[in-house]
Amino acid sequence: MELHILLLFMILAAIIAIEIKDLLSSVIAIGSAGFALCLAFLILKAPDLAITQLVVEILCLIILIRATIRKDLPLIIEGRWFFNTISTLIFIAAFLLFAYYALKELPSFGHPMMSVVKKYLEEGTSKTGAVNLVTSVILDFRAYDTLAEATVLFTAVIGIMAVLRRKGRKEISEKDEY
Amino acid sequence: MNIKNQDSYTETGMTLIVKTVTRLTVGLILVYGIYIVLHGHLSPGGGFAGGVIIALSFVHLMLAFGRDIALRKVSKNTVSILESIGALMFLSIAIAGFLGGVFFLNILDKGSPFRLFSAGTIPLSNIAIGLKVGVGLFAIFLTLVILEGSKR
pLDDT at A76: 57
B122 closest CB neighbour out of A52, A62, A130: A130
Q: Do B140 and A140 touch (CB under 8 A)?
A: no
pLDDT at A24: 82
Range ranked top by mean pLDDT from A53-57, B113-117, B142-146: A53-57
Q: How confident is the model at residue B137 (pLDDT cuts 50, 70, 90)?
A: confident
Tens digits of per-residue pLDDT, B61-98? 888 887 777 777 777 788 888 888 888 888 888 888 78
- Any alpha helices (H) in chain B, and if so which ranges? 3-12, 16-38, 47-65, 67-73, 76-96, 122-151
A69: chain B residues, CB-CB within 8 Å: 1
pLDDT at A11: 92
**End-to-end CA gap in chain B:** 17
Tens digits of per-residue pLDDT, A91-150? 999 999 999 999 888 877 767 767 778 888 887 777 777 788 888 888 888 888 888 888
Mutate to test the interface with B, among A22, A61, A157 (most CBs of B within 10 A): A157
Distance CA A136, CA A157 (A): 27
Does the pLDDT value for residue B56 go beyond 70? yes
CA distances from A36 to A3, A11, A58, A60, B53 (A): 10, 10, 13, 15, 20
- Going by the DSSP 8-state scheme, the letter that residue A106 receives in this structure is S
- Count of other CB atoms within 10 angstroms of residue A50: 20
Distance CA A85, CA B115 (A): 59
B10: chain A residues, CB-CB within 8 Å: none
Nearest CA in chain B to A145: B104
Distance CA A146, CA B40 (A): 14
Mapping DSSP to helix (H, G, I), strand (E, B) and coil, where does residue A170 land?
helix
Q: Do A132 and B36 touch (CB under 8 A)?
A: no
Distance CA A22, CA A11 (A): 19
Distance CA A77, CA A108 (A): 42
Does the pLDDT value for residue B9 go beyond 50? no
Tens digits of per-residue pLDDT, B17-30? 888 888 899 889 99
Distance CA A50, CA A37 (A): 8
A134: chain B residues, CB-CB within 8 Å: 44, 46
Average pLDDT score over residue span A18-34: 87
Chain B, window 43-82: residues with a beta carbon less than 8 angstroms from a chain A beta carbon = 43-49, 52-53, 55-56, 59, 63, 71, 75-76, 80
Domain boundaries, chain A: 1-74, 113-169
Q: B123 near B40, Cβ under 8 Å? A: yes
ipTM over 0.95: no
Nearest to B126 by CA among A139, A55, A134: A139
Average per-residue pLDDT for chain A:
81
Distance CA A65, CA A27 (A): 7
pLDDT at A9: 92
pLDDT at B6: 47
pLDDT at A33: 92
Lowest mean pLDDT among A17-26, A106-115, B44-53, B88-97: A106-115
Q: Which amino acid is at A112?
A: P
Q: Do A150 and B132 touch (CB under 8 A)?
A: yes
Q: Do A48 and B55 touch (CB under 8 A)?
A: no
Distance CA B105, CA B96 (A): 8
Of residues A70 and B59, which shows the higher confidence score?
A: B59
Handedness of CA A174, A178, B2, B8 (dihedral sign): negative
Q: Which amino acid is at A39?
A: L
CB pairs under 8 A between A and B: 148
A47: chain B residues, CB-CB within 8 Å: 44
Q: Which amino acid is at B86?
A: G
pLDDT at A166: 64
